[in-house]
Amino acid sequence: MNTRSHMKVLREDAQAYQDSTGNNHSFEPPLREIFDRAPALVYLRNQLTGGIVWCNKATEEAFGLDAETIYQLGNDLFEKILYPDDFYLAAHSNQHYREKDENFAGVIRVRRIDSNTYRWFAGVSTPFRYTEEGKVWLTLCVFIDFSSAVYTQPQLSEALHETLTQRYKNIHDSLTPREKEIIKLIVAGYTTKQIARQLYLSNYTVEGYRKSIRLKLNVNSTPQLVALAKQIGLE
């Protein structure tokens, strides 16, 4: 059975159980015990808000946070535990489910909140609950830690490095000279008003550039923008 088939069975089993219990946001025994024993991160993500609304024990352990804290942090959680260069994946996921009703897969690097060491995870999410309008509301996400393979298999490590290098180049090439200039000023700590004065532009024009830059880099905040800019050499 391939990954898509496994996810389909998992979704249908969990859906059937929730339909019978009327529980929309969490799992109860025996499913909760099964998911807590699973050697993978398993969680439900609200695609409308970006936050996690349920997770298993492995997710708590990987993030170094208890479930309630994870739920309360909402979408801000990912800024705290994801490698800066991987913020784009969450944004891509949101965009994907606004347009499509099918699985979404990716590779991310995650750290515990109390550590600076990142681990590699490969995973897939699948639509789980829908709004009355038929839009994807909750997604069921499963991620497997494959860090040991990355660090022990040179070919895999090299392939990931080449993928990231190409992504950096694509991002760099998508930016105009003016956007790159503004990014460097943002990284240096300049405010919109200071950038406007420095480049003899209006505040409105600078804000327009900042919006365009965020869209191209798939980031939602200045800290994310700065982190990714440093990764691609714009500082």
Q: What is the pLDDT of residues 69-94, one digit of tens each?
A: 999 999 889 889 988 778 777 777 87
Q: Please answer whether residues 51 and 71 qualify as being in contact, where contact means their C-beta atoms are separated by less than 8 angstroms.
A: yes
Q: Which two tokens stand for residue 104?
A: 């979404």
Query: CB within 8 A of 204, min separation 6: which ones?
Result: none
Q: What is the pLDDT of residues 171-196, one digit of tens each?
A: 778 889 999 999 999 999 999 999 99
- Which domains, and CATH codes, for the chain? 3-152 (3.30.450.20), 174-231 (1.10.10.10)
List, in sequence order, the alpha helices (H) in the chain. 3-21, 31-37, 57-63, 67-73, 76-81, 87-99, 147-152, 154-174, 177-187, 192-199, 203-217, 222-231
Q: Please answer whether residues 212 and 182 qualify as being in contact, where contact means their C-beta atoms are separated by less than 8 angstroms.
A: no
- Asked whether the whole model's pTM tops 0.85, one would answer no
Counting beta carbons within 10 angstroms of the beta carbon of residue 164, is it exposed (0 to 12), middle (13 to 18) or buried (19 or more)? Answer: middle
What is the pLDDT at residue 11?
47
